């Protein structure tokens, strides 16, 4: 049944009116962010006591340049997610990636995650968009895990130079079954939880 | 550098292609998408600033020697379990987990343990979950995804032990 209330169905007509998409929450700053901000502040104080002002500014300037490099890609990822949410047909997505899509849906999610270009700034908005247009948790988990472990973006840019080809390639080969396992496990647990909550 | 450029080119190429498809569906579709994407971007930037700039300070004070020492080749499944906890506690960002893993390998760490560490860090580094994933995706999905990913580093380590690689 594609009518399982996993997600609010996306009324495509309404989207063009510029209303916020259902199921899309722009999270306010929560406890976890505050906790992390405190952790960052504490770490900064430790760095200051150990290395003085120079230590602080050195890390800050390095991170600022990293931040500047990432920003355009974040924008690209947000646009990609928005376009996907807008143009993908809801019925087709829920058929091929929905709760009843079976192993095929998990495989499609895995393949999609593996070929998706870019970093977290691409993968996460796209995953969110897929959830919004009818993909279930299982297929989306397969996609995110596949992007994380099999995707070439991070592996080529960072892992290969740092850890070397031997480790990286074996790490990827060993990771090949993991998105399917996570997706199937996630779908199984989600269906049980959902049924439990419904009764 | 070249690889980074290529990935950027593919990324922006995809944006242009999808944008063109949206434009074909009509101007309102295109304008709404761009506005939605732009609003997402504006909402996410402050948290990413905290994530990127904060992770440098956390990385500077993280006890890397402790992590590296715990991943020895004789540490067995206890070492794998330690690796998973350490991976979750290591800050996100593109480099830190790989760097610590590389140092651990050079210092004589066991391959399955280092593999478990890298996989755990990639899958559910706590700081990345909070600062990167939750702004973009529904929080319920993020925590659920992290929870079902918990067995994966152990499975990866088991496969690595079975095949004797890397």
Residue pairs between chains A and B whose CB atoms are closer than 8 Å: 259
How far apart are alpha carbons B61 and A42 in whole angstroms? 10
Is A77 touching B (CB cutoff 8 A)? yes
CB atoms B132 and A124 under 8 Å? yes
Contact list in B for residue A174 (CB cut-off 8 A) is: 115, 156, 159-160, 163, 165
pLDDT tens, position by position, A136-168: 999 999 999 999 999 877 787 778 888 888 999
Minimum CA–CA partner of B34 in chain A: A79
CA angle A108, A113, B164 (to 5 degrees): 100
Domain boundaries, chain A: 12-198
How far apart are alpha carbons A87 and B24 in whole angstroms? 10
- DSSP labels, B9-42: HHHHHHHHHHHHHHHHT-HHHHHHHHHHHHHHHH
Confidence (pLDDT) at B7: 74
CB atoms B145 and A144 under 8 Å? yes
Give the distance between the most distant pair of CA atoms in chain A. 61
Domain boundaries, chain B: 1-43, 62-163
**Which ranges of chain A have pLDDT less than 70?**
1-30, 32, 118, 196-199
Task: Give the minimum alpha-carbon distance from A10 to chain B in angstroms, rounded to a whole number.
Answer: 14
Pick B58's closest partner by Cβ from A39, A64, A81.
A39
CB atoms A174 and B156 under 8 Å? yes
| C-beta of residue A95 within 8 angstroms of C-beta of residue A101 | yes
- What is the number of alpha carbons within 13 Å of residue A168 lying toward its C-beta? 18
- The single-letter DSSP state of residue B98 is H
Confidence of residue B74 (pLDDT cuts 50, 70, 90): confident
| C-beta of residue A77 within 8 angstroms of C-beta of residue B90 | no
Is A27 touching B (CB cutoff 8 A)? yes
Report which of B124, B134, B56, B128 is spatially closest to residue B85, judged by C-alpha positions: B124
How far apart are alpha carbons A144 and A164 in whole angstroms? 24
Is A34 touching B (CB cutoff 8 A)? no
Residues 6+ apart with CB under 8 A from A19: none
- DSSP labels, chain A: -TTSTTS----HHHHTTTPPPTT---PPP-HHHHHHHHHHHHHHHHHHHHHHHHHHHHHHHHHHHHHHHHHHHHHHHHHHHHHHHHHS-HHHHHHHHSTT-HHHHHHHHHHHHHH--SSHHHHHHHHHHHHHTT--HHHHHHHHHHHHHT-HHHIIIIIHHHH-HHHHHHHHHHHTTHHHHHHHHHHHHHHHHHHHHH-
Task: Give the minimum alpha-carbon distance from B64 to chain A in angstroms, rounded to a whole number.
Answer: 14
Q: What predicted TM-score, i.e. pTM, was given to this entire model? A: 0.81
CA angle B59, B63, B64 (to 5 degrees): 80
Give the distance between the most distant pair of CA atoms in chain B. 63
State the residue for tokens 């796209």. Answer: A126
| C-beta of residue B88 within 8 angstroms of C-beta of residue B124 | yes
Is A170 touching B (CB cutoff 8 A)? yes
Is A124 touching B (CB cutoff 8 A)? yes
pLDDT tens, position by position, A109-128: 999 999 887 677 788 999 99
Residues 6+ apart with CB under 8 A from B113: B71, B72, B73, B75, B79, B80, B82, B83, B104, B157
pLDDT tens, position by position, B92-129: 777 788 888 888 888 888 999 999 999 999 999 988 89
B-contacting residues in A 131-160 (Cβ below 8 Å): 131, 137, 140-141, 144-145, 148-149, 153-154, 156-159
Report which of A118, A97, A107, A142 is spatially closest to residue B4, judged by C-alpha positions: A118
Confidence (pLDDT) at B3: 64
Report which of B54, B58, B39 is spatially closest to residue B131, judged by C-alpha positions: B54
Confidence (pLDDT) at B145: 97
Residues 6+ apart with CB under 8 A from B73: B108, B109, B110, B111, B113
CB atoms A174 and B159 under 8 Å? yes
Pick B60's closest partner by Cβ from A23, A59, A87.
A59
């Amino acid at each position: 049944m594609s009518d399982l209330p996993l997600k609010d169905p996306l009324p495509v007509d309404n989207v063009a009116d510029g209303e916020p998409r259902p199921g899309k929450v722009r999270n306010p700053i929560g406890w976890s962010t505050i906790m992390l901000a405190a952790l960052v502040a504490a770490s900064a104080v430790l760095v200051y006591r150990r290395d003085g002002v120079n230590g602080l500014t050195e890390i800050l300037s390095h991170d600022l340049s990293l931040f500047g490099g990432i920003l355009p890609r974040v924008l690209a990822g947000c646009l990609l997610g928005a376009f996907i949410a807008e143009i993908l047909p809801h019925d087709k997505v829920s058929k091929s990636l929905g709760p009843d899509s079976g192993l095929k849906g998990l495989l499609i999610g895995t393949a999609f995650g593996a070929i998706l270009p870019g970093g977290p700034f691409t993968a996460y908005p796209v995953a969110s968009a897929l959830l919004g247009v009818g993909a279930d948790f299982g297929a989306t988990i397969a996609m995110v895990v596949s992007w994380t472990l099999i995707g070439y973006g991070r592996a080529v840019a960072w892992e290969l130079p740092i850890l070397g080809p031997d480790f990286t390639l074996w790490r990827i080969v060993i990771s090949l079954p993991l998105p399917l396992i996570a997706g199937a496990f996630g779908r199984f647990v989600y269906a049980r939880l959902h049924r439990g909550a419904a009764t | 550098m070249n690889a980074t450029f290529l990935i950027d080119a593919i990324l922006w190429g995809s944006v242009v292609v999808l944008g063109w498809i949206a434009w074909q569906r009509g101007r309102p579709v295109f304008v709404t998408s761009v506005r939605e994407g732009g609003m997402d971007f504006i909402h996410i930037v402050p948290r990413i600033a905290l994530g990127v700039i904060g992770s440098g300070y956390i990385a500077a004070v993280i006890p890397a020697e402790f992590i590296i020492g715990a991943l020895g080749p004789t540490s067995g499944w206890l070492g794998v379990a330690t690796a998973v906890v350490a991976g979750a506690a290591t800050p996100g960002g593109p480099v830190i987990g790989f760097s610590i893993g590389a140092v651990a390998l050079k210092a004589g760490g066991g391959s399955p343990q280092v593999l478990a560490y890298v996989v755990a860090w990639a899958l559910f580094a706590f700081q990345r979950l909070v600062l990167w994933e939750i702004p973009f995706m529904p929080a319920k999905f993020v925590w659920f995804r992290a929870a079902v990913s918990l067995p994966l580093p152990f499975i990866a380590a088991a496969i690595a032990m079975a095949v004797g690689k890397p």
